[in-house]
Amino acid sequence: MTETPAPVRIVTDSACDLPPEMAERHGIEIVPLTVRFGDEELVDRRDLTPRQFWDRLSRSEVLPETAAPAPGAFEAAYRKAADDGCGGVVCITISAGLSATYEAAQLAAQTVTDSIPVQVVDSRAVALAQGLMAVRAAERAGAGGGIDEVVRELHDLVGRSRTFAALDTLENLKKGGRIGGAQAFLGSMLSIKPVIQVREGKVAPESRQRTRAKALRYLAEKVRQHEPVETLAVMHGDAPDLDEMLDLLSSAHPREDIVVGDVGAVIGTHTGPRVMGVIFFVR
């Protein structure tokens, strides 16, 4: 009788902005980043929900800062997987070009080689793009895929991932030091609604739109330009016009097929409030 191989555990970090029910349903372990408001340090999604973060940000006189998890946090997740009888771990992190999280996950993997095999994958993405990769990895692992098979799935998705987002302001990216090529926007910050993209693991300028409404229509057009797409998702940071965005997409994608996620503290610190983004995989 053939013995069933031990399952592979999927680990990611809280920058994935994955809805908690999706992470729980797929057995995905989330290692949290931390957020600091001045001298107060809070654990993302444990001490601070997305709603609490946006409320606090609106009242704060200082821009919060984010910090990658310590290697020990990843090590604890890996050892828990070993204790649970898993045959291995695949960890997918926020882009190494934007955070030290990938390095922490790698360092932790080196400390558990005597207990469980671990492979760490750089998503070269952020937010729900990273989160949806974790879901696909969990589905592959749940179907019996081993570590190598799951890693191949992730590398394929990394190359096919697309993220576009409309911002209400560039102040947060500017102050947080994550603006990169988006410096090109700064000369006319007040008169435009910038659209950014995640390209090669970094935040880059994509276009300038004159109004919020035009920016949302532009995001919908980016989806149409890439049709047919896989696993369409919308992420937003306390945006009042979420329904409008979904309406723009619903002609080709029924609402029930669109994954919707809240931008939390880690990503929201850098995007600012009312960010709206579309995420999908090209075919």
Stated pTM of the model: 0.91
Structural contact between residues 80 and 117, judged by C-beta atoms closer than 8 angstroms? no
Q: How far, in Å, CA of 36 to CA of 159, rounded?
A: 33
Report the CATH fold assignment for 161-282: Hypothetical Protein Tm841; Chain: A;domain 3 (3.30.1180)
Domain with CATH 3.30.1180.10 in the chain: 161-282
8-159 under CATH 3.40.50.10170, yes or no: yes
3-state secondary structure 165-178: EECCCCHHHHHHCC
CA atoms within 13 A on the CB side of 237: 27
Q: Going residue by residue through the chain, which has 283 residues, state the pLDDT in tens, using 9 for 90 and above.
A: 445 678 999 999 999 999 999 999 999 999 999 999 999 999 999 999 999 999 999 998 888 999 999 999 999 999 999 999 999 999 999 999 999 999 999 999 999 999 999 999 999 999 999 999 999 999 999 999 999 999 999 999 999 999 999 998 776 666 655 555 455 455 455 568 899 999 999 999 999 999 999 999 999 999 999 999 999 999 999 999 999 999 999 988 999 999 999 999 999 998 999 999 999 999 9
Amino acid (one-letter) located at 229: V
CA torsion angle 27 282 158 156 (round to 10) = 90
Q: How far, in Å, CA of 194 to CA of 189, rounded?
A: 8
Amino acid (one-letter) located at 246: L
Helices (H), the chain: 20-25, 50-59, 71-83, 101-111, 127-142, 147-160, 171-176, 212-225, 242-249, 265-271
